């Protein structure tokens, strides 16, 4: 029996990339998975169901309270409860790295709104269902950029710093509700949309060399940490951020 049998997991930004890989793994472990994204989720849902798993797709913009409310309603109607939330959606691969002197206010606001306020909006909407169930696991996907501040991604880095901060605050506020909130900070990961993204070429070689484990990182490298943080193994862990980066950053 899978470690998530009978659980329902919502994951945002799961139409492609890291989110899609995580969604498939949670389904393999027996979870009913709600695949939420602004992009078409049909491929991720089809892959899960073809493999014998359980999933529904939801068209959700994480900055829209209406979309989120409809998703929570559909989830409870379809699966009865909501046990796991993975806040993975973000503006990332869509970015072209550029100096902060060239980032205008609109672009800054958009990145902060989706990447940070989106986590606030999603978590706020999902936690009441977790409280009704009497338990919950929330994992926020942050980024190792917060620790070393790479050039070209200042707005993104700031937004992921906010995600780490929110993780700490939510962990404290939900500690006595049996809801654990943690984050994963991935290193540069060769996700679907990053492959062939020339904007990240200057970072690729130096990043691999800066790791203790000198190889490219793949979305699958995140799955062990995800499973730890959404199963009872982590029941006494909250407000933490787990670096999964091949040993680049030592805290």
Binding site for ligand NAD (CB under 6 A): 12-13, 15-19, 37-39, 60-63, 88-94, 114, 118, 141, 143, 186, 188-189, 191-194
Cβ distance to ligand NAD smaller for residue 195 or 235? 195
Q: What is the Cα–Cα distance from 132 to 109, expressed in whole angstroms?
A: 34
In the bound complex, what is the minimum distance in angstroms from residue 36's beta carbon to ligand NAD? 6
- Closer CB to ligand NAD, 8 or 44, in the complex: 44
Output the DSSP codes for 160-178: HHHHHHHHHHHHHHTGGGT
Cβ–Cβ under 8 Å, residues 102 and 50: no
Alpha-carbon distance of 214 to 221, in angstroms, equals: 13
User: Cβ of residue 141: shortest distance to ligand NAD, in angstroms?
Assistant: 4
Q: Catalytic pick from 147, 148, 156, 170?
A: 156
Q: Among all chains, which residue has been given the structure tokens 């991604």?
A: 153
Taking the C-alpha atoms of residue 111 and residue 115, their distance in angstroms, rounded to an integer, is 6
Nearer to ligand NAD, 42 or 193 (CB): 193
> Could you identify the residue written with the tokens 């498939």?
24
Dihedral over Cα of 108, 70, 29, 21: its sign? negative
In the complex with ligand NAD, the residue whose CB is nearer, 127 or 226, is 226
CB of 160 to ligand NAD, least distance (A): 7
Smallest CA-to-CA distance from 63 within 11, 128, 116 is with 116
d(CA 37, CA 29): 21
Residue whose beta carbon is closest to ligand NAD: 17
What is the nearest approach in angstroms of ligand NAD to the Cβ of residue 152?
Answer: 13
Quote the CA–CA distance of 167 and 119 in Å, as a whole number: 9
Q: Is residue 156 annotated as a catalytic residue, yes or no?
A: yes
Question: Which residues have a catalytic role annotated?
Answer: 156
């Amino acid at each position: 029996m899978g470690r998530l049998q009978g659980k329902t997991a919502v994951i945002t930004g799961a139409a492609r990339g890291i989110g899609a890989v995580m969604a498939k793994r949670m389904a393999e472990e027996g979870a009913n998975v709600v695949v939420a994204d602004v992009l078409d989720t049909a491929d991720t849902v089809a892959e899960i169901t073809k493999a014998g798993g359980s999933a529904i797709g939801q068209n959700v913009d994480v900055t829209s309270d209406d979309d989120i409310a409809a998703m929570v309603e559909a989830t409870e109607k379809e699966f009865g409860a909501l046990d796991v939330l993975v806040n993975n959606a973000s503006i990332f691969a869509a970015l072209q790295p550029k100096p902060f002197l060239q980032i205008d206010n609109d672009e800054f606001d958009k990145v902060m709104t989706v990447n940070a306020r989106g986590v606030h909006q999603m978590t706020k909407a999902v936690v009441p269902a977790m409280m009704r169930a009497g338990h919950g696991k929330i994992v926020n996907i942050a980024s190792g950029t917060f620790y070393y501040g790479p050039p070209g991604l200042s707005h993104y880095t700031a937004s992921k710093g906010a995600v780490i901060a929110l993780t700490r605050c939510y962990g404290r506020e939900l500690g006595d509700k049996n809801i654990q909130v943690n984050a994963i900070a991935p290193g540069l990961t060769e996700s679907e949309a990053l492959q062939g993204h020339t904007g990240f070429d200057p970072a690729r070689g130096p990043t691999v060399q800066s790791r203790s484990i000198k190889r490219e990182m793949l979305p699958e490298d995140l799955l062990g940490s995800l499973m730890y943080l959404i199963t009872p193994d982590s029941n006494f862990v909250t407000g933490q951020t787990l670096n999964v980066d091949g040993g680049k950053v030592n805290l």
